[in-house]
Structure 1
Amino acid sequence: MANRREIQHAVVTGFQRRVGNPILGRLPIQTLLETTGRVSGQPRITPIGGRRSGGAFWFVSEFGRRSQYIRNIEADNRVRLRIRGRWFTGTAHLMPEDDPVARLRSLPKANSTAVRVVGTDLMTVRIDLD
């Protein structure tokens, strides 16, 4: 029998994939992360929440290394990021040593609350923008 974290991950990612991401991805104000699929080599776009700070963009992944986009970053950390309708290129860095709960306190409140509620394996990510 699957444990609670596995069930929560399956339910949340299923909802995001089928409902949340298709809707959020169409909103012009939504921040989007584009990674390169580690198997397909095709662009993969994921709505994310976070905040730009100087030349970097910070966010917290709710499922850490279980997230497909995190696995894509591990294979190729060159990414694109759409912030307020404008695309930027950058290099993503996984920050497992960073305190993701503390980081969420410095990021937009609504998204941070959702990440804390549904997340099981929080991990901070920093994207250094070109």
Structure 2
Amino acid sequence: MLDLNDLKRRVVHPIQRYLVNPVGRNAPVTLIETTGRKSGQPRRTAVGGRLIDDQFWMVSEHGEHSDYVRNIKANPAVRVRHGGRWRSGTAALLPDDDPAARLRQLPGMNSAVVRAMGSNLLTIRIDLD
């Protein structure tokens, strides 16, 4: 039997994968680029978050169930496109951080969507070079 988080993930994931991400990759939004853990190819995902000094903070809707989080676990070297500029960095998964509190510090619209659609929230900090 599916729990609510599994059901959310099964509904939201294909929408993000086949609609939101393809549009986001070509729009002026923030992107995170990871290295595919199986393919070794660059994988770009539209994300929301906030740049604070030389750190980019974000919250993953589906935590360790997200493909880009699995890619980060395999290789934390990432790139972030923010404000039209690509920057390299190292991502850290922060399971002990309070993602609900973190979302209150991040852009409102994206945070509202993450709260509504999220199933296993996980804070991510990217230390930019």
TM-score (norm 1): 0.96
Q: Who is 2:24 aligned against?
A: 24
Q: Which consecutive residues of structure 2, in runs of 5 or more, have no partner in the other structure?
A: none
- The answer to whether residue 36 in structure 2 is matched with residue 37 in structure 1 is yes
CA-based RMSD of the aligned residues comes to 0.8
Seq. identity, %: 53
Instruction: Find the residue that maps to 1:9 and give its secondary structure.
Output: helix
Structure 1 stretch 5-14 or stretch 100-109: which is displaced more? 5-14
Would the aligned equivalents of 2:50 and 2:56 in 1 still touch at CA under 8 Å? yes
Q: Who is 1:67 aligned against?
A: 66
Equivalent AA in structure 2 for residue 92 of structure 1: A
Per-residue deviation, 1:111: 0.1
Would the aligned equivalents of 2:24 and 2:45 in 1 still touch at CA under 8 Å? no
Q: Who is 2:82 aligned against?
A: 83
Per-residue deviation, 1:4: 2.5
Distance of 1:72 and 1:105 partners within structure 2: 26
Per-residue deviation, 1:3: 2.7
Instruction: Find the residue that maps to 2:38 and give its secondary structure.
Output: coil
Distance of 2:72 and 2:17 partners within structure 1: 18
Q: Which consecutive residues of structure 1, in runs of 5 or more, have no partner in the other structure?
A: none
Q: Who is 2:6 aligned against?
A: 6
Equivalent AA in structure 2 for residue 45 of structure 1: R
Distance of 1:7 and 1:120 partners within structure 2: 9
Per-residue deviation, 1:81: 0.5
| Dislocated runs of 4+, deviation >6 Å | none
String of CA shifts for 1:41-91, please: whole Å, max 9, x gaps.
000000000000001000000100000100000000000000011000000
Q: How does 1:92-107 map to 2 (within 5 A)?
A: 92-107=91-106
> How many positions carry a matched residue from both structures?
129
Instruction: Find the residue that maps to 1:39 and give its secondary structure.
Output: coil
TM-score (norm 2): 0.97
